[in-house]
Amino acid sequence: MTTVIAFIFMFGLLVFIHELGHLIFAKRSGMLAREFAIGFGPKIFAFTKNETVYTIRLLPVGGYVRVAGEDPEIVELKPGHHIGIEFNNKGKVNKIIVNNKSKHPNARVIEVERADLDLDLIIEGFEIDEEERLRFEVDPKAFFVMDEKETQIAPYDRQFASKSIGQRAMQLFAGPMMNFILAIFIFLILGFIQGVPTERALLDEIQPNSPASEAGFQSGDEIVQVEGNSVSTWEEFTKIIRDNPEESLSLEVERDGEIVAITVVPREIEAQGGTIGQIGVGQAFEKSIVQTIQYSFTQTYDITKLILTNLGMLVTGQLSIDMLSGPVGIYDATDQVVQTGFMNFLMWTAILSINLGIVNMVPLPALDGGRLLFVGIEAVRGKPIDPQKEGVVHFIGFALLMLLMIVVTWNDIQRLFL
């Protein structure tokens, strides 16, 4: 149950922060954000605030912010349509009843001759069996009513396409940006709570029943030599250990001002790309506000670089698609991390946040990076690509991503039972 709660919290936080970035910059630029959704599929919970419907949906595979103009509007008023209209206290149309007009006895029923709800915000037409042509002004925040459900209209100045290239690009980039900001914030928390890992080869926790424990290492020991070679950093020390599984190593450690000789045999463990050595020691930490701030940025940078390197290896075929994990694999990994403690869970959350930010910046259709690519092409060529063509590209891209998700999830399930 602990893992389930942790996974739901982590997934919800990562998606919420990502989509919050999109939502904030959509509203800042004046776009109408129709829906803020966590998950896909059927609605579980929904409420409306400040023009936006906030929903939680059944399938925990992502989320979205639906901005007016990004997808075709549900209702299009064509000549000959019979609609009902209701008015606000300024005499402007504030409700356009598309069907079930009998349920709105106060609505004025007209036959549409022309409607412009993008620029002019007018409806022209005739009352039934009347010849006088009427013209009605429409409130910019009027609603369509279809099947007794209200949908706010979106004048062109509230639509995604009406905004400048910079505003659109920022709205798309804001999601991944917020994931990086979240990671930096989490590393700040870790730094303030437990301190910053020291660069020195200084030991902290010694795991029980580990090679280090059996060899006689103690918390506070500082490694100064391995096999006669001087060691001054944690990175140097751990590289030697990883590179020598099941090999006897002679070390010298400084303990309480004295040099102590210790022999240890790193245990061989399976890792990505082969086997490595491990002795079961933890790195020591130190507390400093300046170092904590530096740590939050350097950790984010280092993990970003590592993920980008692995992504490049995946593209070039150096890594197999089997190395990818979907929700099932992430859940299994989260289960293992949760068992090691809350601090490691926070670290895992930060890593996944960076990963989510990077993946969404990949220039593939349906992802933020793919949509940014189209905005960039528009900036270069001076005019936008046909929205229908762009929509087809994104639809195909989304379908392929869902197919990849199915393949990755199947691989995750197989790994669980191997």
Residue 263: CB atoms within 10 Å:
10
Long-range contacts of 226-230 (CB under 8 A, 24+ apart): 226/250, 226/251, 226/252, 227/251
Question: Which are the contacts of 335, defined by CB distance < 8 A and separation ≥ 6?
Answer: 3, 7
For every residue of 316-370, which 3-state class applies, written as one string?
CCCCCHHHCCCHHHHHHHHHHHHCCCHHHHHHHHHHHHHHHHHHHHCCCCCCHHH
Q: How far is the C-alpha of 232 from the C-alpha of 76, rounded, in Å?
A: 71
Task: Tell me the backbone φ, ψ of residue 399, rounded to 5 degrees.
Answer: -65, -40
Task: Tell me the backbone φ, ψ of residue 237, rounded to 5 degrees.
Answer: -65, -50
Active-site residue 246, yes or no?
Answer: no
Question: 118, 129 in Cβ contact below 8 A?
Answer: no
DSSP state of 386: P
Supply 139's token pair.
């409130």
Instruction: Give me the residue label for tokens 């609505």.
Output: 107
Closest CA to 299 of 221, 185, 205: 185
- CB neighbour burial string for 237-262, b if at least 16 within 10 angstroms, e if fewer: bbebbbebbeeebebbbbeeeeeeeb
Instruction: Give me the residue label for tokens 């030697």.
Output: 240
Q: How far is the C-alpha of 49 from the C-alpha of 384, rounded, in Å?
A: 32
Q: How far is the C-alpha of 345 from the C-alpha of 341, rounded, in Å?
A: 6
The Cα-based distances of 34 to 2, 26, 70, 73, 278 in angstroms read 34, 10, 10, 11, 52
Question: Which are the contacts of 334, defined by CB distance < 8 A and separation ≥ 6?
Answer: 3, 6, 7, 10, 345, 348
Q: How far is the C-alpha of 277 from the C-alpha of 251, rounded, in Å?
A: 15
Point out the catalytic residue in the list 19, 214, 227, 286. 19
Positive or negative, the Cα torsion across 167, 169, 170, 172? positive
Residues classed as catalytic: 19
